[in-house]
Chain A
Amino acid sequence: MAGETRASLAPDDLRGSHGPARHHLLTSLFGTPDLHRLAVYREHGGYRSLEKALKEMTPDQIHAEVKASGLRGRGGAGFPTGTKWSFIPKDVPGPRYVVVNFDEAEPGTCKDRYLVEHSPHLLLEGACIAQYAIGSHQAWIYIRGEYDRPYRMLVEAIEELRQAGILGPRPFGVDYPLDVQLYRGHGAYICGEETALLESLEGKRAQPRSRPPFPAVKGAWGRPTLLNNVETLANLPWIVDHGGAEYAGFGVERSRGTRLLSVSGNVQRPGVYEVELGVTFRHVIMELAGGPPPGRRVKAFWPGGSSAPVLPESMLDVSTDLDELARVGSMGGSGGVIVMDDSHCVVKAARRLIRFYAHESCGKCTPCRVGTNWAERTFERILRGEGTVADLQILDHVQDALQNGRCLCGLGDSAGWVIMSTMKHFREEYEAHALRNQCLAGECNVQRVGAHA
């Protein structure tokens, strides 16, 4: 990659859904050569939606289409986007901001990077439409610091837009100034949490704020702020172009449209796939991603990033409908589908995730700071072959203490769910490890020690 030139910014190493398909609302053009160039994006109809929004629609009309679309946030919580927009006060004078959450640090999640590397202008067009819709003239994209290539692509795309006058005082000749700025993160998962992100943007340590006030009312630099995920905003050009009703024609019940799922782990074709909401995980994992390696079975999958409670193989027919996932005790989360096959140990996987949450805890609330560390040490003991019944009780205890609003932000809950869901579905693996020094998957050292004893 050394010496990478401007021309070679176009990625040729992307894997997932490409090209036309009825349900490819975001990705139909992906794979078009040089789609990241403004000229190419415009040749394929790019920025037509922004022009239409500015010239033919009022902000209220855009808002109505977004509501009609049924779109729900793709960042993690699945909150209805139209409803979130309505929390932005209309009558407050002074600046207001659109903030794009491109922190993408949820383990197993890589869809926003995929989206921006394919089509940076798709995000920028969405961010511009959002500015107009909420009466803002300034968007900030908070991009994680490790994303070097997406950052450079956005820098160039923004420059192209400035030169074309689409960012500036009079986009498409309309007297509505638009601008987009970039802000690079510096390696902290908690920055993805919306209020921590705002703290970080303001130059502080990224510790979540207590709410209310919500960012819609008092967000970046104390101003009304709309904060949305990359993929959420990237849907806006399509919705403005085709109308909210047509968008709502995709998907099921309260999960409308399509979403990007990044499938990783033990599958033969890891990649980012755009699916219509409502398809099953069996379709996603076994068909799109090619299933586990030959001779292996799926043991477990995390349906929405590491923060979504794990599900066992027997639940592969659960659908991607957000409400159905909630009913079975998990969630749609960030769309990061992590697949683990039967050669891997659930206890070891849970230990790795708990280490992540312990490391990323911002330290502001005691149950999270202390609980994640305690859990991590307990996992270490169990995996060293020193586990006891007491350790399993500790884990039971800690997972409970982390959940149910005892912590200020979702990170604490997520850590609790890792323990809770892995113990619920794979109790026997925990017991074998903690009580008999056996690894049922045959992956961990304790088992080898035990086998020779």
Chain B
Amino acid sequence: MALSKHAIEEIKALPQRFPEIRSAVVPALDIAQEELGYLTPEAMSEVASLLQVDPGYVEGVATFYTLFHLEPVGEHHFYVCTNLSCMLRGAEEICEHIRRRIGVSREREISADGRFSYEEVECLGACEFAPMMRYAHAYHYELTPEKIDALIEAARSARPASARAGVIDRPESQEAEQGHGR
């Protein structure tokens, strides 16, 4: 999968925002991942050549940061916090419930229909609403099995996205574009 023309333009415009070109690597990978869903080796090389930095360097950066996915994830991916404040308020049960409902046996496994996956993450900085998770660029607070069921139900009844970019609700991706643009 190659990057779209639009993404390439966005990436090329990044370096001017920073005193040094390397600072553009992470925002560029962000654009690539937003478009492709995860970072393929080709996408990383493409970013490297667009920014004229070494491909090994780009890969080194991509593998360091946990928000970059080097393998596909489900179209609906839940980042569930399991750190202490959330654990003390039932995060383990929430993870177990998600596994059961989407039919996977471990984190990062993709459901049979290819639509769902989840990941156990470290503290997301919303501990007063534990247990909580990040999903579709928003925080979801004080999770219960019922809340999880409602979200999964809503996701199932929504049409599957054909192109990755369509997964994210319009207002969100406009925001994201705005963000990248400045």
Contacts and interface: CB of A to CB of B under 8 A. Distances in A.
Interface in B111-129: 121-129
A57 B137 CA distance: 42
A201 B136 CA distance: 25
Interface string B165-182: 000011110010011001
A266 interface: yes
B89 interface: yes
Contacts of B126: 110, 113
Interface stretch (A82-90, A182-190, A251-259, A324-332): A182-190
B65 A186 contact: yes
Given A186-B26, A203-B26, A262 B139 contact: no
Given A186-B68, A270-B130, A146 B124 contact: yes
A359 B27 contact: no
Nearest to A348: B87
A272 to B, nearest CB: 6
Interface string B141-152: 100000000000
B17 interface: yes
B9 to A, nearest CB: 20
Interface residues of A, number: 69
Contact of A263 (B68, B83, B128): B128
A161 interface: no
Given A108-B84, A352-B87, A187 B66 contact: yes
Contact of B127 (A183, A206, A270): A270
B153 interface: no
Given A108-B84, A108-B127, A4 B22 contact: no
B89 A265 contact: yes
Interface string B1-39: 000000000000000011111111111001000000000
Contacts of A107: 83-85, 122-123, 127
A344 interface: yes
Interface in A87-117: 95, 104-110, 112-114
Contacts of A13: 129, 141
A268 to B, nearest CB: 12
Interface of A: 1-6, 13, 15-16, 95, 104-110, 112-114, 144-149, 151-152, 155, 158, 181-189, 200-206, 220-221, 262-266, 270-272, 302, 306, 336, 338, 340-341, 344, 349, 352-353, 356, 359-360
20 contacts: A105-B125, A106-B123, A107-B123, A110-B126, A113-B125, A113-B126, A146-B124, A158-B182, A186-B66, A186-B67, A203-B25, A204-B61, A205-B60, A221-B19, A266-B89, A272-B128, A306-B84, A340-B88, A353-B84, A359-B122
